[in-house]
Amino acid sequence: MRRLFDDELEELDSDFTEMGLLVADRISAAVTAFTDRDTQLADRVINHDHEVNEREIALEQKSFEMIALYQPVTTDLREIVTILKAVSDLERAADHARNIAHAALKVTDKERIPELEALINQMGTKTTQMIRDVLTAYTSVDEDRAKQIAQIGQELDELNHDARNLSYEHMKSDPEFKTAASIYVNVAQDLDRIGDYVTNVCEWIIYLKSGRIVELD
Amino acid sequence: MLVNPSHAVDPSKERHIELLSDPAHPVILETHDLKVFYGQKEALKDADLQFNEHEITALIGPSGSGKSTFLRSLNRMNDRVAKVTGEINYRGIDINQPDVDIYAMRRQIGMVFQRPNPFAKSIYENIAFALRQRGVTNRHELDDIVESSLKGAALWDQVKDDLNKSALSLSGGQAQRLCIARAIAVKPDILLLDEPASALDPVSTSQLENTLLELKRDYTIIIVTHNMQQASRISEYTAFFNMGRVLEYDTTTNIFTNPQIQITSDYVSGNFG
């Protein structure tokens, strides 16, 4: 039996996925702006940050309405709760993309550190892919895939650690690099945090599938 | 005495669902292989359920699923219309035996029906009548029981100055609470309620639910309801019936958040049929 609720839930799902793809694009653009020192692209990321916030609020409002009007239970409830929690994580991930865009503006006149840029690029590719994959795992309610994606979060931890060590080495060897290296450290930290937020989404996919609330990190 | 002691249940036959073990709320009533036949039709198949003391259990399921048949069997109200086989163990005694004193048993296991059915007598007499039949004749004692029963059913404050008024003048919600007061006046152990709020408006329903939550301190409550929110609001355990079988029995939280069977999920989500 098809319910009106099912149509609204489908729309909510689709809006959630769209928001996720938007966040993935923002992260990718912010990292490109940083590594290419593209200030126009960085400005665009900063100026369009409100779009993600507005989508988060719209999804939250719609979720509250559906809970109040339909009083969903079991898998219906879990799906709405998953979206409600995951949109917060995605919005926070987008905040870190905005931080990276701000860092891109600050780093333009500083020394380049190619090894660190390579690490940042690698982390950017991983986080963007993580978000795209987590949206697929959400759509297919794939618990195993969610667990695999969360493991990439640990790889990001290690890359962040490497980036920090490399930055400190540059700071020690040449004080000229001090400001630039600290900006690189912050960007690596931002990307690591994005990985943590995607890991949270993975946890909510497991909840959606099984009803269990787990910690994956 | 409720029953011939020879019908005491052999403890070795007792089966407990591990999930329901709760030292604070021991099992007070349980059924084993309970079957109900209306003629050739088996309306209830092998129902094995346990009910904990001072807790509320909701019986849910579509119309014709067997939940009311099950409820009515628990105090032998199906005896005249159906053949009921299997065990109904009330505090270790099988009350589904022919020589059980049904009237004594019903003092322990009372029933409140779907539609309020007050007698065409005064509010006071609705409660005092049954007590007099059971030998309570002292006016002070009757007054005390009428007052405590009406208080227990959260009706006293509304009717204390109108006890001699006809019970038929009460609103639906008040009449249903009077029926609850009448049921608890004889101090039963267990209250069976068959969709007690189905004829009530939302405010009366909410008052009735609050009354039931108060009453569970002193009584064990088993309620049939078609209102999923009601089941989720007030019960500790929920049994889902379908086509004469108990398909799932679990904590109400589990039934409404993470049921183990898809058909239970579909039913409580309104995605059934």
Angstroms from A189 CA to nearest CA on chain B: 37
Is the Cβ pair A74, B265 closer than 8 Å?
A: yes
Portion of chain A with pLDDT greater than 70, in percent = 100
Tell me the chain B residues in contact with residue A211 when contact means C-beta distances shorter than 8 Å: 257-258
| Residue B33, phi then psi, degrees to nearest 5 | 50, 40
Give chain B's largest Cα–Cα span: 57
Portion of chain B with pLDDT greater than 70, in percent = 92
Tell me the chain A residues in contact with residue B240 when contact means C-beta distances shorter than 8 Å: none
Tell me the chain A residues in contact with residue B228 when contact means C-beta distances shorter than 8 Å: 73
Q: Which domains does chain B have, with CATH numbers?
A: 5-268 (3.40.50.300)
**In whole angstroms, what is the distance from residue B65 CA to residue B74 CA?**
16
Side-chain half-sphere CA neighbours of A69 within 13 A: 11
Angstroms from B259 CA to nearest CA on chain A: 7
Portion of chain B with pLDDT greater than 90, in percent = 78
- Closest-approach residue (CA) in chain B for A207: B258
User: Would you give the DSSP letter of residue B5?
Assistant: G
Is the Cβ pair B256, A76 closer than 8 Å?
A: no
User: Would you give the DSSP letter of residue B166?
Assistant: B
Where do the structural domains in chain A lie, given as residue ranges?
Answer: 4-210
Tell me the chain B residues in contact with residue A75 when contact means C-beta distances shorter than 8 Å: 265, 269
Place of tokens 């009330």: B90
Say whether pLDDT at B1 is over 60: no
Say whether pLDDT at B13 is over 70: no
Residue A217 has what pLDDT?
72
Query: Which residue type sits at B211?
Result: T
**Which of the residue ranges A96-110, B82-96, B124-138 would you say has the lowest mean pLDDT?**
B124-138
Residue B20 has what pLDDT?
54
Is the Cβ pair A211, B258 closer than 8 Å?
A: yes
Structure tokens at A42: 């960085």
The H or E element spanning position B45 is strand B41-52
| Nearest CB to A3; choose among B256, B268, B270 | B270
| Nearest CB to B259; choose among A3, A72, A74 | A74
**Mean pLDDT of the residues in chain B:** 90
Rg (CA), chain B: 19
Structure tokens at A105: 């503006």
- Closest-approach residue (CA) in chain B for A77: B257
Helix (H/G/I), strand (E/B), else coil: B47: strand
| Nearest CB to A73; choose among B269, B272, B273 | B269
Architecture of the domain spanning A4-210: Up-down Bundle (1.20)
Average pLDDT over residues B144-162: 94
Along the 217 residues of chain A, how does pLDDT read in single tens digits?
678 899 999 999 999 999 999 999 999 999 999 999 999 999 999 999 999 999 999 999 999 999 999 999 999 999 999 999 999 999 999 999 999 999 999 999 998 999 999 999 999 999 999 999 999 999 999 999 999 999 999 999 999 999 999 999 988 888 888 889 999 999 999 999 999 999 999 999 999 999 999 999 7
- Closest-approach residue (CA) in chain A for B273: A1
pTM listed for this prediction:
0.82
Write b or e for each residue in A182-198: b if 16 or more Cβ atoms lie within 10 A of its Cβ, otherwise e.
ebbbbbbebbbbbbbbb
Place of tokens 């009803």: A211
Say whether pLDDT at B18 is over 70: no
Instruction: State the ipTM, two decimals.
Output: 0.75
CB count within 10 Å of CB B96 equals 22
Is the Cβ pair A73, B273 closer than 8 Å?
A: no
Is the Cβ pair B258, A210 closer than 8 Å?
A: yes
Residue B21 has what pLDDT?
57
